[in-house]
Structure 1
Amino acid sequence: MDQSDTQISVDETERNRADRVLVAEAARRAGTLAMRHFRHDPENWSKAGGSPVCVADMEVDAFLRETLLAARPEYGWLSEETADNPRRLECRSVFVVDPIDGTRGFLAGDPHWCISIAVVRDGRPSAAVLFAPALDRLMTATLGEGASEAGEKITVASRHSLNDCAIAGPNSWFKSELWREHSVRPSRYLPSLAWRFASVADASFDAAFARPRAHDWDLAACDLLVHEAGGRLTALDGRPPVYNRAELRHGTLAAANPGLQDKLLAVLRRVEEERAARAGISH
């Protein structure tokens, strides 16, 4: 590596660190806004497709958009609660935001919801934060520098066998007998997909998975957390997701430590085939 390459690497690292500090502070402040509505029966309604949204989602979204783009006007913006602007596709760096991931849980009074913010650069996350205000938990990650919570490094679990694994995912997917072959322990279903995957990063779960159609804003921040904690979050073909494309939705995804991931993916491929066969869908 020549000196210019080294300098580019140093510059990128410093930028990623600065981005992490920026998004962590913004998430903390946004959490204060959200908590004003939590368990106070906020006004809410259904979006097209039936998913819920509430006034807290919109307030947090507006605050984060104004705050983050004021600090980084050259970055693009992609959020669940903002109309998509294709200009983001022209930006090397993009904020990918879910103002409240787990709105159903938020409205039900479940504390397992979070504010999810990532900086995506060249299709992959480079800085990320998940803040769960009702739990007062903040997880952060910087590309190449690890993941942490409360100043302490977090790492994925070390289990390399599916036997007796604690795995989180959609309850309906655990009906397959394939899981029983490994005595897998389905873990509590969390309303926030981002927090579900982050719970792999801090070893609360051995593994987790998500059904198809998750969006960039559900995944980008927790993706970096998992990878920087020593794990893998991938599609069924073993490839990590690519973000900030025209298509925002992803297929089935799973996360675990590297020694467990391939075994988990093999079972998930069989489960998905089984579900497709029952639905009369051919592959």
Structure 2
Amino acid sequence: MSAPTHTTTSEPFDFARAASLLTDAAARAGAAIMAHYTGGTEIEIKADSSPITNADRDSQAIILEALKVLAPEIPVVSEELASDLTASLGPRFFLIDPLDGTKEFIKKRTDFTINIALVEHGRPCFGLVYAPARSLLALTVADGEAVEATLPPDEAGADLSKLAQTRLRARVADPDGLTAVVSLSHFDPETEAFLSKLNIAERSSAGSAVKFLELARGRADVYPRFGPTMEWDTAAGHAVLEAAGGFAVAADGTKLRYGKTEAGLRNPGFVAWGRKAGASHH
């Protein structure tokens, strides 16, 4: 199905309906994940040596069902369904990670998320990131507009219109000292070298897409990531960050694009930033 370019207000993807349906699904998927979080879960090791749990599978089933209702014609790529990542996806597809930060989940930390994104012509335009252990929901409710809300996991679902929503705005960095957020499990010498060239006053570490949310919420300024990531790890957080006024670029300064089937949907190294203050972002 050919999709129009993402520039007109007559964009047929219905952000409001997507936000509503997927908030409900996220609350239910979050409840399924938290049942395993408190009650214990079986852990298997996948072929790529990463862990998968029943929480991943239960969350995925709920999200896939919601996407079928929302837009049955749009293909879905999920971390746990990913078989052939080199097949053509067309101009428009969903990317989901039903449990981003499985390692953090297994260690009983709170920085794991459900990530749901819509990509159009290489750009993540809709994104939902939900951290059920923190009751933190962040999502795009319109093109270029993102909000956060407190959403406790609930197997009965949730009504977005009844949640108190706060608009997300990335901040312009203070040149006298930036706050960096870095990966908890994947810190490397390249990241250290990158940060050493900036005036970093403070740094924190987190797992999963929570790092994008720190930027989108105006609590941090830069998130460098040079280690391996897949598109479903970043698309939803990237969409929320862009809608909040921030941006992400590949390590070489080009746009971070999605649908890279020639690379098996792997991302290059990238740097995510808050709001630009007219300064160069390199």
TM range (shorter): 0.7 to 0.9
Contact 1:126–1:143 (CA<8 Å) still a contact in 2? no
Name the counterpart of 2:60. Answer: 61
Task: Specify which structure has the bigger relative contact order, considering alpha-carbon pairs within 8 angstroms and separated by 6 or more residues.
Answer: 2
Counterpart-to-counterpart distance in 2, 1:82 and 1:53: 12
Name the counterpart of 2:257. Answer: 242
Contact 2:191–2:225 (CA<8 Å) still a contact in 1? no
Counterpart-to-counterpart distance in 1, 2:91 and 2:194: 42
Higher mean displacement: 143-152 or 53-62: 143-152
Counterpart-to-counterpart distance in 2, 1:195 and 1:136: 12
1:197 aligns with 2:196: no
Asked which structure has the greater CA Rg, the reply is: 1
Change (3 A) 1:40 1:187: farther
Residue 230 of structure 1 deviates from its aligned partner by 0.8
Counterpart-to-counterpart distance in 2, 1:10 and 1:88: 31
1:259 aligns with 2:277: yes
Residue 70 of structure 1 deviates from its aligned partner by 3.5
Flag as ranges the 4+ runs of structure 1 deviating above 4 A: 85-88, 174-178, 180-183
Gaps of 5+ in 1: 266-283
Name the counterpart of 1:233. Answer: 248
Contact 1:166–1:185 (CA<8 Å) still a contact in 2? yes
Residue 225 of structure 1 deviates from its aligned partner by 1.0
- TM normalised by structure 2 equals 0.81
- TM normalised by structure 1 equals 0.81
Contact 1:26–1:68 (CA<8 Å) still a contact in 2? no
Counterpart-to-counterpart distance in 1, 2:12 and 2:141: 8
Change (3 A) 1:212 1:124: same
Higher mean displacement: 175-184 or 106-115: 175-184
Counterpart-to-counterpart distance in 1, 2:190 and 2:84: 38
Show CA shifts across 1:69-125 (max 9, x none).
Answer: 243210101010113356973444311100011000001110111100011122212
Counterpart-to-counterpart distance in 2, 1:195 and 1:15: 25
Show CA shifts across 1:253-273 (max 9, x none).
Answer: 11112238845x3xxxxxxxx
Gaps of 5+ in 2: 150-164
Counterpart-to-counterpart distance in 1, 2:90 and 2:62: 21
- Say which of 166, 169, 172 aligns to 2:188: 172
Residue 41 of structure 1 deviates from its aligned partner by 2.4
1:220 aligns with 2:235: yes
Residue 184 of structure 1 deviates from its aligned partner by 1.5
Contact 2:141–2:147 (CA<8 Å) still a contact in 1? no
Contact 1:112–1:134 (CA<8 Å) still a contact in 2? yes
1:187 aligns with 2:200: no
Show CA shifts across 1:115-161 (max 9, x none).
Answer: 00011122212211101111001001145331111211111122152
What's the secondary structure of 2:254's corresponding residue?
coil
Contact 1:27–1:117 (CA<8 Å) still a contact in 2? no
What's the secondary structure of 2:109's corresponding residue?
coil
Change (3 A) 1:14 1:39: same
Residue 188 of structure 1 deviates from its aligned partner by 2.5
Counterpart-to-counterpart distance in 1, 2:87 and 2:64: 13
Counterpart-to-counterpart distance in 2, 1:200 and 1:22: 25
What's the secondary structure of 2:94's corresponding residue?
strand
Counterpart-to-counterpart distance in 1, 2:57 and 2:276: 37
1:24 aligns with 2:23: yes
Question: What one-letter code is carried by the residue in structure 2 that aligns with 1:259?
Answer: A
Counterpart-to-counterpart distance in 1, 2:194 and 2:124: 33
Name the counterpart of 1:157. Answer: 171
Question: What one-letter code is carried by the residue in structure 2 that aligns with 1:126?
Answer: C
Name the counterpart of 2:108. Answer: 109
What's the secondary structure of 1:9's corresponding residue?
coil
Change (3 A) 1:165 1:81: same
Q: Percent identity?
A: 25
